Amino acid sequence: MRFLITAGPTREAIDPVRYISNRSSGKMGYALAEAALEAGHAVVLISGPVCVAAPAGAEIERVTTAEEMADAVQRRMDTGCDVFVMCAAVADFRPRAVSARKIRKSDGLASIELEPTRDILATVRPPKNRRVIIVGFAAESDELEMNAQKKLREKRCDVICANDITRMDTGFDADENELNLYFRDGKKARLPRDTKLNLARELIKIFMMIAENH
Ligand code: C5P
């Protein structure tokens, strides 16, 4: 199987030295890439700026902005993939205008006007004649199940892997995670707290089961 996995945050420039981003470490996406390779699959990893070492054997494409990630995903989707895992924490907003020169502190900056970035998961589509398993992630601080189910439907995923980001010891920027899975057919599953690599190994098995049932 050919896996297309995104990981890490995106950065949206304010000026040549400043940007908007988030706390994503990329660890979950990199663990998924490692687990897929371990299971004998081919992996293309599209990564935002992170400090994690790339797993040996993955073809890695580095991007910075949400727009660059969207373009890379569409291009890789067009050249073929069987499982698409959108694990990246894409910045939801970007500055409407990017200053070409560094904004001076002495000039002041009362506000930054923002505009939404493209929703990659919701807009990238596989080629018409291919069946691609589509996996989304959801980092939620409240109403975990309701929000995850909504994303499952609206972003037309086969499965959403949701985690509770109010917990300091799991999820964002942590080595461990705990996931609630919501499937397109209405089934649910819970992967209890474990290392991101062990959870990734379980997820790869689950994605393979979805693929077999299609
Ligand atoms: O709507 P929300 O950002 O919570 O949805 C999370 C899912 O959507 C994740 O899989 C994330 O990678 C994806 N996403 C995206 N493009 C965006 C924002 C989120 O693909 N601009």
What are 46's strand-pairing partners?
6, 61
Please tell me the residue having the least CA distance from ligand 1 atom 13.
121
Q: How far is the CA of 59 from the centre of ligand 1 (A)?
A: 22
The residues annotated with a catalytic role in the active site are 22
Atom of ligand 1 nearest to the CA of 116: 21
pLDDT at 213 over 80: yes
Rounded CA separation 63/60 (Å): 10
Atom of ligand 1 nearest to the CA of 135: 10
| Residue 129 pLDDT level (bands cut at 50, 70, 90) | confident
11 Cβ inside 6 Å of ligand 1: no
Q: How far is the CA of 16 from the centre of ligand 1 (A)?
A: 26
Q: Which amino acid is at 167?
A: R
Higher-pLDDT residue of 126, 35: 35
For 145-202, how does the pLDDT look when each residue is reduced to its tens digit (9 = 90+)?
Answer: 999 999 999 999 999 999 988 876 766 778 899 999 999 999 999 999 999 999 999 9
Distances (CA, A) of 58 to 3, 71, 108, 191: 10, 19, 44, 25
138 Cβ inside 6 Å of ligand 1: yes
User: In whole numbers, what is the pLDDT of the chain averaged over residues?
Assistant: 94
Please tell me the residue having the least CA distance from ligand 1 atom 21.
119
Distances (CA, A) of 22 to 31, 66, 93: 19, 12, 11
For 91-122, how does the pLDDT look when each residue is reduced to its tens digit (9 = 90+)?
Answer: 999 999 999 999 999 998 889 999 999 999 99
88 Cβ inside 6 Å of ligand 1: yes
Contacts of 198 (CB under 8 A, 6+ apart): none
Atom of ligand 1 nearest to the CA of 124: 20
- pLDDT computed for residue 49 by the predictor: 98
Mean local confidence (pLDDT), 40-53: 97
120 Cβ inside 6 Å of ligand 1: yes
For 50-63, how does the pLDDT look when each residue is reduced to its tens digit (9 = 90+)?
Answer: 999 999 999 999 99
Q: How far is the CA of 89 from the centre of ligand 1 (A)?
A: 7
The pTM (predicted TM-score) of the whole model is 0.96
- pLDDT computed for residue 33 by the predictor: 98
pLDDT at 140 over 90: no
84 Cβ inside 6 Å of ligand 1: no
- pLDDT computed for residue 147 by the predictor: 95
66 Cβ inside 6 Å of ligand 1: yes
Contacts of 140 (CB under 8 A, 6+ apart): 147, 148, 162, 163, 164, 165
| Residue 41 pLDDT level (bands cut at 50, 70, 90) | very high
For 64-79, how does the pLDDT look when each residue is reduced to its tens digit (9 = 90+)?
Answer: 999 999 999 999 999 9
67 Cβ inside 6 Å of ligand 1: no
pLDDT at 141 over 90: no
- pLDDT computed for residue 206 by the predictor: 98
